[in-house]
A and B are shown apart, each in its own frame.
Chain A
């Protein structure tokens, strides 16, 4: 019986733990996936849009799911007479929505600070702490460039992404506005949202339909990858849970069969004393179901510990106890034990008292 109880406890532990992980994986993995960058993009329905439009759109997203918002305005500036693409952004938002960016040095924090892409830095042999002069030339007269504005920046960091970003320089929206002398409008806004693909689609639809001036789209290569990985991971967890439950059932059935075999004489005696098949079934099934209940309670508590250990060691974050899982685990344990006990209990009713009491 102790073996059966242990089997049920282990089964319930795995069940409770894996179900906890099953439901927590999207949140955990979602947070992990955010390191791959933005998964939603705002573009203007006309051409350009502004921060007020972004704020209106962001209000449709649950604050707890919003990881980062990085608005971008792109303008061509000249550095040492060479045209370079300058991106004005909110540095804090850009850092959160593009955590994979590797910055050598510091992100710009104050006005007059700039971060340059690795290729730009190589071209101009720029290093951290160097200063550069950027000019904005929106108008030309034939081949003659009419210099309009000029600003000096301190390079705080070199950006290394392995992508196009290395050809850009990054400065604050306010600096870009000052450099260009034009009020800030946005070309694009990148958002990183920790939500499922379905939820993201719902957000995008709600924003596109309700916020004038913004068209919200999902970055499909990110969201589809997330969905595919999560689906496979959840399917794996579900499969393991089913296998563990099946193994638990086999273990309990084997143990109960051994118990019935061991107690054949007692069963024969009880039947000889007048025990009906129903009372034999209720006694053995009752013992089994009680074990299932006890194993389920302890298993669900141990399952939480198991899930917590897995979550901390794999995802590096803790999870909270799901009280709703306790009765579910207990009920499933009782059902599994009940099914496992069916055959052994049936064999108990087939014990012939005349044979076993004679020692045959």
Chain B
């Protein structure tokens, strides 16, 4: 394992990362590594620092201390403008509340991510919707889609620009069991295609299908669980 650690370069590495608000340590010297193509679940009670960690990894916030290396770049030292560019080029985001623009169709919502990344391509956006099984719902507004369908549009939007890493914050939090299974299955396929996934969840069933699960408590990394079905992955440093 130690040999692997030397040879294989992490896609994401947090080194003693802290986020401090006054006296509150939302994150307290957290260190971890995520390898390219890995599927990691993050669990923990409310206030444990999950969202703070996701915001920092997603380039929407900066740590108070420590280093955050994403694809070799220390994003803790980058300017806000560069963080926007990194987020646009390397990260796909999936939200619990879907956050689709209400006056745009499913297809247009996917194309919006293309617009900020490069050039909107309707054919490619349609292929992304086909990938999540929503080609026939492409021209529907979010209000005309079920919760599961909206989350699948969100997944299509997250993967349209081929990001290095997909961050999903409680992706099944607003879904029923059937739709939860559909979304988890999509993650499974994305993982098989080599996409790196970090999923924050409260749901143990969703966490269990990941390669490993990190549990946060009071801003610290409490422990890690490795799914026995996956092998050869890097442990916490």
Q: How many residues of B contact A (CB 8 A)?
A: 21
**Partner pick for B116 among A265, A273, A352, CB 8 A cutoff:** A273
- Which chain B residues in 11-57 approach chain A with CB under 8 Å? 51, 55
**Partner pick for B87 among A265, A272, A352, CB 8 A cutoff:** A272
Q: Which residues of A contact B85 (CB under 8 A)?
A: 274, 276
Chain A interface SS verdict (over half): helix
**Is B113 close to A, CB under 8 A?**
yes
| A269 lies within 8 A of B101 (CB) | yes
| A273 lies within 8 A of B101 (CB) | no
| B60 lies within 8 A of A274 (CB) | no
**Is B117 close to A, CB under 8 A?**
yes
| B116 lies within 8 A of A354 (CB) | no
- Which chain A residues in 264-293 approach chain B with CB under 8 Å? 265-266, 268-277, 279
**Partner pick for A274 among B51, B55, B84, B99, CB 8 A cutoff:** B84
- Of the candidate stretches B89-97, B190-198, B226-234, the one touching chain A is B89-97
**Partner pick for B93 among A265, A272, A276, A359, CB 8 A cutoff:** A272
| A270 lies within 8 A of B95 (CB) | no
| A279 lies within 8 A of B116 (CB) | yes
| B89 lies within 8 A of A273 (CB) | no
**Is B61 close to A, CB under 8 A?**
yes
| B61 lies within 8 A of A271 (CB) | no
| B51 lies within 8 A of A358 (CB) | yes
**Is B8 close to A, CB under 8 A?**
no
| A273 lies within 8 A of B51 (CB) | no
C-alpha gap A272/B88 in the complex (Å): 8
**Is A357 close to B, CB under 8 A?**
yes
Q: Which residues of A contact B60 (CB under 8 A)?
A: 272, 352-354
C-alpha gap A273/B113 in the complex (Å): 6
Shortest distance from the beta carbon of A278 to any chain B beta carbon, whole Å: 9
C-alpha gap A359/B174 in the complex (Å): 14
Shortest distance from the beta carbon of B200 to any chain A beta carbon, whole Å: 12
Q: Select from chain B the residue with minimum beta-carbon distance to A266.
A: B101
Shortest distance from the beta carbon of B123 to any chain A beta carbon, whole Å: 20
**Partner pick for B99 among A265, A275, A276, A352, CB 8 A cutoff:** A265
Q: Which residues of B contact A266 (CB under 8 A)?
A: 101
Q: Which residues of B contact A269 (CB under 8 A)?
A: 99, 101
**Partner pick for A270 among B51, B58, B61, B112, CB 8 A cutoff:** B112
Q: Which residues of A contact B113 (CB under 8 A)?
A: 273-274
Shortest distance from the beta carbon of A338 to any chain B beta carbon, whole Å: 24
C-alpha gap A218/B155 in the complex (Å): 84
| A274 lies within 8 A of B101 (CB) | no
Shortest distance from the beta carbon of B158 to any chain A beta carbon, whole Å: 9
C-alpha gap A357/B95 in the complex (Å): 8
Q: Select from chain A the residue with minimum beta-carbon distance to B102.
A: A266
Q: Which residues of A contact B51 (CB under 8 A)?
A: 358
Given contacts A353-B60, A354-B55, A358-B51, contact A271 B84 (CB under 8 A): yes
**Is B223 close to A, CB under 8 A?**
no
C-alpha gap A357/B60 in the complex (Å): 11
**Is B81 close to A, CB under 8 A?**
yes
Beta-carbon contacts of A336-360 to B below 8 Å, as 1s and 0s?
A: 0000000000000000111001110
Given contacts A269-B99, A354-B61, contact A276 B117 (CB under 8 A): no
C-alpha gap A334/B51 in the complex (Å): 42
C-alpha gap A359/B95 in the complex (Å): 11
Q: Which residues of B contact A273 (CB under 8 A)?
A: 88, 93, 112-113, 116-117, 157
Q: Which residues of A contact B58 (CB under 8 A)?
A: 272, 354
C-alpha gap A354/B19 in the complex (Å): 14
Shortest distance from the beta carbon of B167 to any chain A beta carbon, whole Å: 10
Shortest distance from the beta carbon of A155 to any chain B beta carbon, whole Å: 84
C-alpha gap A273/B161 in the complex (Å): 10
- Which chain A residues in 301-360 approach chain B with CB under 8 Å? 352-354, 357-359
Q: Select from chain B the residue with minimum beta-carbon distance to A263.
A: B101
C-alpha gap A270/B85 in the complex (Å): 13
Beta-carbon contacts of A240-276 to B below 8 Å, as 1s and 0s?
A: 0000000000000000000000000110111111111
Contact sample, A vs B, 24 pairs, CB 8 Å cutoff:
A268-B99, A269-B101, A270-B112, A271-B84, A272-B60, A272-B87, A272-B93, A272-B99, A273-B88, A273-B93, A273-B112, A273-B117, A273-B157, A274-B87, A274-B89, A274-B113, A275-B84, A275-B116, A276-B116, A277-B81, A354-B58, A354-B60, A357-B95, A358-B51
User: Which A residues are within 8 Å of any B CB, using their own CB?
Assistant: 265-266, 268-277, 279, 352-354, 357-359
Q: Known contacts A275-B116, A357-B95; can you find 7 more A-B pairs with CB under 8 A?
A: A268-B99, A276-B81, A277-B81, A277-B84, A279-B116, A353-B60, A354-B55
Q: Kindly list the 5 A-B residue pairs having the minimum CB-CB distance in the complex, ordered from nearest.
A: A274-B88, A354-B60, A274-B116, A354-B55, A269-B99
